[in-house]
Structure 1
Amino acid sequence: MTSKQTRSMWVWNSVAILASSTETNQLLAGALDAGVTELYFYMAPHYYGPQKPQLQTFISRATTSGLHIWALDGDRAYFPDAAGPSNFYHGIDNLIAYNAAVAPHEQFSGFQADNEPLDHAEYRTFHNGIPDSNLSHTPGTGLWQPTQAQDREMLLCSWLSMHETASQLLHAHGLRFGAAMPWWTEAYEGEELGVSFPADGEGVRRQSVMKHMMGLVDEYVVMSYYTNPAEAARRVEAQAAFASGMAGVGRPRVCAAVEVAPGVGRRVSYGDTEGKNSRAVVLRDVGVIERSLSRYAAFGGVAVHHWSAWQSMPD
Structure 2
Amino acid sequence: MRASRASATLISATPEPVRTAASAPAGGRGAGVAVMVGSGLSNQTGAAIGSLAFPVLGPLGVVAVRQYVAALVLFAVGRPQLTSYTWAQWRPMLLLAVVFGTMNLSLYSAIDRIGLGLAVTLEFLGPLTIALAAVRRRVDACCAVLAVAGVVVLMRPQPSTDYLGMALGLLAACCWAAYILLNRTVGRRVPGAQGSAVAAGVSALMFLPVGVVVLLRQPPGLPAVGFAVAAGVLSSAVPYLSDMFTLRRVPAQAFGLFMSVNPVLAALVGWIGLGQGLGLTEWAGIGAIVAANSVSMLARH
TM interval, short-chain normalised: under 0.3
- Structure with greater proportional helix content: 2
